[in-house]
Amino acid sequence: AESHKHDFTVQQTRVTRLCRTKNIITVNGQFPGPTLTVRNGDTVVVTVVNRARYNVTIHWHGIRQMRTPWADGPEYVTQCPIRPGGSYTYRFTIENQEGTLWWHAHSKWLRATVYGALVILPKQGSNFPFSLPQKDFPVILGEWWNRDIIAVQRQAQFTGAAPNISDAYTINGQPGDLYRCSTQGTVKYSVNPGESVLLRVINAALNQQLFFSVANHMLTVVGIDATYNKPFTTNVIMVGPGQTTNVILTANQSPRQYYMAARAYATVRNGQFDNTTTTAILEYKNLNSGANSRPLLPQLPAFNDTATATAFANRLRGVPNNNRVPNQIDENLFFTVGLGLVNCTRGPRCQGPNNTRFAASMNNISFVLPRRTSLLQAYYQKIPGIYTLDFPRVPPVQFDYTGNVSRGLWQPRFGTKLYKLKFGSNVQIVLQDTAIFSTEDHPIHLHGYHFWVVGQGFGNFNAQTDTANFNLNDPPVRNTIDVPVGGWTVIRFVADNPGVWLFHCHIDSHLAWGLAMAFIVENGIGEKQTMEPPPPDLPQC
Ligand code: C2O
């Protein structure tokens, strides 16, 4: 196994998109940031130097961080932020993970421009479970705002109103041909006729689930969130924020240019969303005549096509060497996830619906990050008064979660409440979408873990009938899972990685409104089950 050393300088960089030039925060002046390519079993050492004017942290999304929770990155959860002028070295080893992950800032909404791909190849001498593709490309989907992203975040957080929607979607940082002033920068992927191409599709958008398709080409799905799945072929995929999907395409069409394109899958009722389309070009070498005509656009589903999104999710099946899903459950948890409204006295801070503010919650607790220190430091050093351990295992009141529920029943409470898990316990979490303000999809991400997705459905979860239908045979394994609009998802995992692990909605506006909680996983017995001590350069608050 190898060790990969990198320097990440977080800095302000001037870029031009959609006819305007502005400053954004980047790593090493690159947007998207550098792609890290490693092998399963390798060690990664990244020194982050903060030359920007904001605090920052970097999260290695989906990396298990076995015994190294200090390198996970979410600010105030596993570390205090790196101050301007400061630095911190993230050091971790890849253990039994292959496929596509990514890294992003986990501080305010800086991940809008601070992100990059993390490609994990099989160990030296071992192969993909599919034939080696001739080309291997990251396809990172993002969202672009003309306004400064911190201003967009402040507006949403200060006023309690929905955030401004993005001005464009992007592929590898470029909006593409269909937007103003964007033709020059449009990303081109060049292929030889007959080649097979691995596209590593990453949804790095802040607030939007996306459909993705390539004109005239079928996509064979071979991996999700750095795990393998049973391959299947489709013309469209749906990727939620935080998720990755590896697809193989064969360049078997007549040699010309084809668009690959991404567009919103937006489930919120009456909600506003960016309804534009981003494109990149798949270009065959040796273009024949006809090559000068415009590339073909793929047919993408309508923004509210839940049937297509659901059908896609249902086709995802794990492979046998993903280990066996636990049968016996030690911790049976039921968490509601959803938006809510809190009463608010009139004023600029009450610009949500009817002079309220948005607050999002799990089990009616709207999560508040500490400021004095990180949760992991508080836990490790036994600092009192930073968090409590009373996160409820079930909702405080039970009702028809997907019906139209009165607000009086469900006023989120604010708190820094955690839930403690014994090392090695088998955990099941039912995630139930609620409809207090509106029903919508929530891509829920668990740090430090992979989980099995054993069930998914619409309506209220029914412990008798739905449990009987769980897929314990070949469930897909992921780190981020969609809780469908007006429905539920059930996940299982084994608490084999000690530390403090954030569990949250990967839509940044929902995270900012509190759609999060955190688990403490206690140490087990012996070195292999015990978290490492903090590195000496761990930033202090
Ligand atoms: Cu990709 Cu908590 O994040």
Q: What is the pLDDT of residues 441-465, one digit of tens each?
A: 999 999 999 999 999 999 999 999 9
Question: What is the CA(192)–ligand 1 centre distance, in A?
Answer: 36
Question: What is the CA(440)–ligand 1 centre distance, in A?
Answer: 19
pLDDT, residue 250, reads 98
Atom of ligand 1 minimally distant from the CA of 502: 2
- Residue-range domains of the chain with CATH: 1-128 (2.60.40.420), 130-315 (2.60.40.420), 320-529 (2.60.40.420)
Residues 6 or more apart whose CB falls under 8 angstroms from that of 285 comprise: 190, 191, 192, 193, 255
Residues 6 or more apart whose CB falls under 8 angstroms from that of 159 comprise: 348, 349, 350, 351, 352, 357
Q: Which amino acid is at 319?
A: V
pLDDT, residue 316, reads 98
Question: What is the CA(203)–ligand 1 centre distance, in A?
Answer: 12
Count of C-beta atoms within a 10 Å radius of residue 1: 12
The SS3 assignment for 379 reads: helix
pLDDT, residue 287, reads 74
Structural tokens at position 322 = 């993903």
Structural tokens at position 75 = 């600010």
Residue minimizing CA distance to atom 3 of ligand 1 = 61
CA gap 129, 319 in Å, rounded: 10
Atom of ligand 1 minimally distant from the CA of 504: 2
Question: What is the CA(250)–ligand 1 centre distance, in A?
Answer: 32
pLDDT, residue 289, reads 59
Q: Beta strands of 416-541 (E only): which ranges?
A: 418-421, 426-433, 442-446, 451-458, 477-478, 480-483, 487-494, 499-505, 516-521
pLDDT, residue 353, reads 83
Structural tokens at position 53 = 């004017």
pLDDT, residue 190, reads 96
Q: Is 104 in the pocket of ligand 1 (CB under 6 A)?
A: yes
Q: Is 295 in the pocket of ligand 1 (CB under 6 A)?
A: no
| ipTM value | 0.99
pLDDT, residue 322, reads 67
Atom of ligand 1 minimally distant from the CA of 74: 2
Q: What are phi and psi of 93, to 5 degrees?
A: -115, 140
| pLDDT < 50: residue spans in the chain | none
CA gap 171, 123 in Å, rounded: 29
Q: Are 355 and 165 in contact (CB under 8 A)?
A: no
Q: Is 200 in the pocket of ligand 1 (CB under 6 A)?
A: no
Q: Where are the alpha helices (DSSP H) in 6-97?
A: none
Pairing of strands 257-265, 277-284: antiparallel
pLDDT, residue 511, reads 95
CA gap 305, 338 in Å, rounded: 21
Measured between alpha carbons, how far is residue 235 from residues 1, 248, 255, 257, 375 in Å?
37, 11, 19, 17, 43
Q: Is the peptide bond before 74 cis (omega within 30 degrees of 0)?
A: no
Atom of ligand 1 minimally distant from the CA of 61: 1
Q: Is 417 in the pocket of ligand 1 (CB under 6 A)?
A: no
Burial grade of 439 (CB within 10 A; 0-12, 13-18, 19 or more):
buried
Residue minimizing CA distance to atom 1 of ligand 1 = 61
Question: What is the CA(162)–ligand 1 centre distance, in A?
Answer: 21
Q: What are phi and psi of 70, to 5 degrees?
A: -65, -15
pLDDT, residue 283, reads 95
Question: What is the CA(195)–ligand 1 centre distance, in A?
Answer: 34
CA gap 320, 342 in Å, rounded: 46
Question: What is the CA(360)–ligand 1 centre distance, in A?
Answer: 17
Pairing of strands 115-121, 36-39: parallel
pLDDT, residue 352, reads 85
pLDDT, residue 349, reads 85
